[in-house]
Structure 1
Amino acid sequence: MRVTHHGPLPGELHDVVVIGAGVVGSAVARALARHPRLRTALVDASDDIGNGTSKANTAILHTGFDAVPGSLESRLVREGSRELARYAAATGIPVEPLGALLVAWDREQLDALPALAAKAARNGHHGTRIIGADELRRREPRLGPGALGALDVPGESIICPWTTTLAYATEAVRAGTGLHLNCRVTRVTDRGDHHELTTGRGTLRTRYLVNAAGLHADAIDRLLGHDDFTVTPRRGQLIVYDKLARDLVRHILLPVPTALGKGVLVTPTVYGNVLLGPTAEDLDDKRATGSTAEGLALLREQGRRIVPELVDEEVTTVYAGLRAATEHDDYRVRAHPGRRYVTVGGIRSTGLTASMAIARHVLGLLGDAGLDPGPARENEPPRMPNIGEAFPRPWQRADLIAADPAYGTLVCHCERVSLGEIRDTFRSTVPPRSLDALRRRTRARAGRCQGFFCGPAVSALLAESESESESGSGCGSATESDSTPTPADGASASVTEDAAP
């Protein structure tokens, strides 16, 4: 296993390098890692996996009912949803199947529901049905006044996006993939039989290249002489309400979609909070992830109509993410066979759901471009720690605490994060190197006090881990035994990963 943040890069010739360690790039790396013949690497400019678009979304496992019928996105979302649901069950990624209600607030929206149901059927989702105002009110009693009906969409679920990305990366690294973080690609040179990637940490050489760089996929494309699309960052601001608001909402509440996206929704999270958002603002700056007073005011206005009581609840935090919108209405996934290069661009909010199917599709394109991956094997899926509310956390498990009292020693009281969980994530295959990375893995500092109480203790634990790692004692090593059991396995040793809004 190889995870590097600093120092020189390996000099050997790789078979495939994947640029971008978000949910899609990590899924591609995982798929490549099933072929032991291949020497692969996953690189990212950030200090952690999933640290771009993947970390700031609405965390919904979609059915694809409203995708453009016949599009690549429609097919991959439909297939990926089933694949990810199975993978989540095998790895312990938190998922809750709540179903969605597409709420109509006026006659025009109500009249649009039959066409949306027909589109869902063309996308292979035949379970939708239109319900009237009375049934809607019975199913969502806290809904605001004036709703005329809804499209019932069974099968829509909520999921932990951070654990998903981390599970993919963990499986890939355990199977031999090199993960190189803090490794921004600044130049790509075609040497005829291979590509040379110039990065801030040196040069990587590879026979085949996959561009899954998200917001920067167009920039990487241009480094190779292509100009097929332009990424316009579309900012989505969201408000996270306290767990005390959870009983206000029973389903994922969706609006009738517009040309800019799915619109403002209200949804529970697997962590017990309630999300309101996102906005949809096309920007020029790919770093503009700040929230604005105007955006939050718009969300509160929309939220007051959807679930009036929600906006009076306490806010845990606000955040904003950038989606990789392009001028096209479908994914931009294509091979350049003569260049031994595959572009994975224009992956919008459905990328989490479609990630495993996208990865499988990319492997097919690499084959079309000449890559012989060799025989495949089934790698042992990692067992991820549970950070959702629907299943017992370590602090609730007497067996873990009896074996190791650290699992009963709370560090973050808002989110009930134990010392054992924090310790174990430092020992995991892809350990955190920042407070934000630690929060995503454990939810420490993600609760209502936002680290006011636990911040110093969490910071001290991270500093201690970094010191031990630098001294070679191995607490933060990426080379520990793959056979170490985790609390999710019913033992007391090693939790491996993640969290969300």
Structure 2
Amino acid sequence: MYDVIIIGAGVSGSAAARELSRYQVRACVLEKAEDVCCGTSKANSGIVHAGYDAAPGTLMAKLNVRGNDRMGELAEELDFPFSRKGSLVICREEEGLLALEELKKRGELNGVQGLEILNREQVLELEPNVTKDVIAALYAPSAGIVCPFGLNIALAENANRNGIEFYFNTEVMDIRKTEKGFLLETSAGVYETKYVVNAAGVYADQFHNMVSREKLHITPRKGEYYLLDKSAGDHVSRTIFALPGKLGKGVLVTPTVHGNLLVGPTAEDIEDKDGVNTTPEGLAAIAGKAGQNVSGLPLKKVITSFAGLRAHEDRHDFVIGEVQDAPGFIDCAGIESPGLTSAPAVGEMVAGILKDKLNLEVNPGFQGKRKGILDPSKLTMEERNELIRQNPAYGSIICRCEMISEGEILDAIHRPLGARSLDGVKRRTRAGMGRCQAGFCSPRTMEILARELGEPMEAVTKSGGGSRLIVGTNKDRI
């Protein structure tokens, strides 16, 4: 019997787990995938939004601003990449000036600091590659960029370090109310708990609807992206937005914390909750729309494309709180953009609800600091040479594009909630994220995974489940 079971190890579920670990509680996270950060949280823009877009008074508005405020401190505590670069919302027509002013007023009502409307000359001085058609822009200095994998993994690792259990490859199939709480039937057995936190992304409506007469409806909203090589990473220095439309903030152009350039997303409502395929139409739309606000985009430097899903709830607001006709069931649903920004505040809110409901006491052993994987590139040459003398694995480069060593991959495998697949290694170290997109380093990374996990090479997967890269043996093929 658990006090709390969290469904979903994305950024919301992991943030809730980390904040809950501040208290004395028996809790676990159930995740159907093979790792944390395998759903919406792994495929998004990596933007820390300032908070001017959401309607004042909504949970989106409140938690966006709170999450933004906390991100810098959290990045220091948990050692993940974050940079407060600022953002610009580009206006290219006189008719848009009123909308720009409205965004500024909305942001100020939400508590966003430092918002300023810049004229054409000021915009071009900040960002010379913005379209010459620009007439004004809303500047938000508090906006930033973050590594979505880094944030999610850091939250989960720290939660686990403080006593929260994680179970992977454990898909929740059914939820039933009991006298003591809830019984969860999963692909890996039955779990029982007093409280459930429903942080299941695009599937959160299905779990909510199992226990409540008041139904939720979540639409998967697909967004497709281009990722450009690091040689294009300085084309803009800040996140460049178009004026928002009814489907969101439109196609953006932004640097990433790792030095690449990201362009996207599209916004297409679909029915398939696992529909993360890219399409020729979607990628063509990105190229056309992005060029409206940023000139000379070097799209010949695209190294990959991908798609992610946003969990759009019909009322277009976060749904967080105890379900009225299902006491003990806490929704954390409809967490679409600015969900990544809001995650620290979402975690606080969910943990606060559970603290009051369960009368939880402070965990005296809580450790709020976490050290990420060592990045040798941040060391001096003398420090790096000494590191290699102490551990030669740091002198063996496995991923040449990103200059990732065997030492970093070993750390990724053996740290709390360590990597068990190629994608798990990639999300933690960036091995395979460079120009060749794992074409060179995959075999060596697979060898290391097989050796360290005590598995045959055939058992190593790209992303868990049936995603094996080697089928059979030479003998089988003869």
Q: Counterparts in 2 of 1:185-200, with a 5 A limit?
A: 185-200=172-187
C-alpha separation in 2, matches of 1:162 and 1:77 = 19
The residue that corresponds to 1:290 in the other structure is 277
**Which of 221, 231, 238 matches 2:218?**
231
Q: Which runs of 5+ in 1 are unaligned?
A: 1-12, 471-501
The residue that corresponds to 1:48 in the other structure is 35
Amino acid aligned to 1:19: I
- SS of the residue 2:57 aligns to: coil
**Which of 239, 247, 259 matches 2:234?**
247
Amino acid aligned to 1:190: K
Amino acid aligned to 1:215: V
C-alpha separation in 1, matches of 2:72 and 2:352 = 22
The residue that corresponds to 1:145 in the other structure is 132
- SS of the residue 2:277 aligns to: coil
C-alpha separation in 2, matches of 1:336 and 1:229 = 11
Amino acid aligned to 2:251: V
1:110-138: per-residue Cα shift (whole Å, max 9, x none)? 33211111111101113111111111111
- SS of the residue 2:246 aligns to: coil
Q: 135-144 or 228-237, which moves further after superposition?
A: 135-144
Give the length in aligned residue pairs.
455
The residue that corresponds to 1:352 in the other structure is 340
- SS of the residue 2:331 aligns to: strand
The residue that corresponds to 1:314 in the other structure is 301
The residue that corresponds to 2:469 in the other structure is none
Q: Counterparts in 2 of 1:472-491, with a 5 A limit?
A: none
RMSD, matched Cα: 2.1
CA 1:133–1:392: 2 relative to 1, 3 Å? farther
The answer to whether the Cα contact below 8 Å between 1:394 and 1:407 also exists between their aligned partners in 2 is: no
**Which of 415, 440, 453 matches 1:466?**
453
CA 1:273–1:194: 2 relative to 1, 3 Å? same
TM-score where L is the length of structure 1: 0.87
The answer to whether the Cα contact below 8 Å between 1:143 and 1:306 also exists between their aligned partners in 2 is: yes
The answer to whether the Cα contact below 8 Å between 2:232 and 2:260 also exists between their aligned partners in 1 is: yes
- SS of the residue 1:364 aligns to: helix
1:403-439: per-residue Cα shift (whole Å, max 9, x none)? 3232232110101111110011111101111111111
The residue that corresponds to 1:222 in the other structure is 209
Q: 326-335 or 376-385, which moves further after superposition?
A: 376-385
CA 1:166–1:395: 2 relative to 1, 3 Å? farther
Offset, 1:367: 4.4
Does 1:32 pair with 2:20? yes
The answer to whether the Cα contact below 8 Å between 1:395 and 1:416 also exists between their aligned partners in 2 is: no
- SS of the residue 1:166 aligns to: helix
- SS of the residue 1:446 aligns to: coil
C-alpha separation in 2, matches of 1:187 and 1:314 = 46
The answer to whether the Cα contact below 8 Å between 1:271 and 1:387 also exists between their aligned partners in 2 is: no
CA 1:54–1:312: 2 relative to 1, 3 Å? closer
The answer to whether the Cα contact below 8 Å between 1:59 and 1:158 also exists between their aligned partners in 2 is: yes
Q: Counterparts in 2 of 1:39-118, with a 5 A limit?
A: 39-118=26-105
The residue that corresponds to 1:412 in the other structure is 399
TM-score where L is the length of structure 2: 0.91
Amino acid aligned to 1:155: S
C-alpha separation in 2, matches of 1:31 and 1:86 = 14
CA 1:393–1:39: 2 relative to 1, 3 Å? farther
CA 1:185–1:393: 2 relative to 1, 3 Å? farther
CA 1:386–1:92: 2 relative to 1, 3 Å? farther
Q: Which runs of 5+ in 2 are unaligned?
A: 458-478
**Which of 368, 373, 376 matches 1:385?**
373
The residue that corresponds to 2:253 in the other structure is 266
Amino acid aligned to 1:410: I
The answer to whether the Cα contact below 8 Å between 2:52 and 2:112 also exists between their aligned partners in 1 is: yes
- SS of the residue 1:83 aligns to: helix
Does 1:18 pair with 2:6? yes
CA 1:427–1:198: 2 relative to 1, 3 Å? same
Offset, 1:189: 1.5
The answer to whether the Cα contact below 8 Å between 2:232 and 2:298 also exists between their aligned partners in 1 is: no
CA 1:107–1:84: 2 relative to 1, 3 Å? same
CA 1:32–1:283: 2 relative to 1, 3 Å? same
**Which of 343, 351, 364 matches 2:352?**
364
The answer to whether the Cα contact below 8 Å between 2:422 and 2:442 also exists between their aligned partners in 1 is: no
The answer to whether the Cα contact below 8 Å between 2:86 and 2:143 also exists between their aligned partners in 1 is: yes
C-alpha separation in 2, matches of 1:251 and 1:188 = 45
C-alpha separation in 1, matches of 2:330 and 2:232 = 44
Q: Give me the identity figure in percent.
A: 36
Offset, 1:387: 6.5
The answer to whether the Cα contact below 8 Å between 1:395 and 1:410 also exists between their aligned partners in 2 is: no
Offset, 1:53: 0.3
**Which of 179, 182, 185 matches 2:169?**
182
CA 1:87–1:126: 2 relative to 1, 3 Å? closer
Offset, 1:388: 11
Offset, 1:386: 6.0
C-alpha separation in 2, matches of 1:287 and 1:48 = 16
C-alpha separation in 2, matches of 1:242 and 1:21 = 29
C-alpha separation in 2, matches of 1:83 and 1:30 = 14
C-alpha separation in 2, matches of 1:223 and 1:164 = 31
- SS of the residue 1:342 aligns to: strand
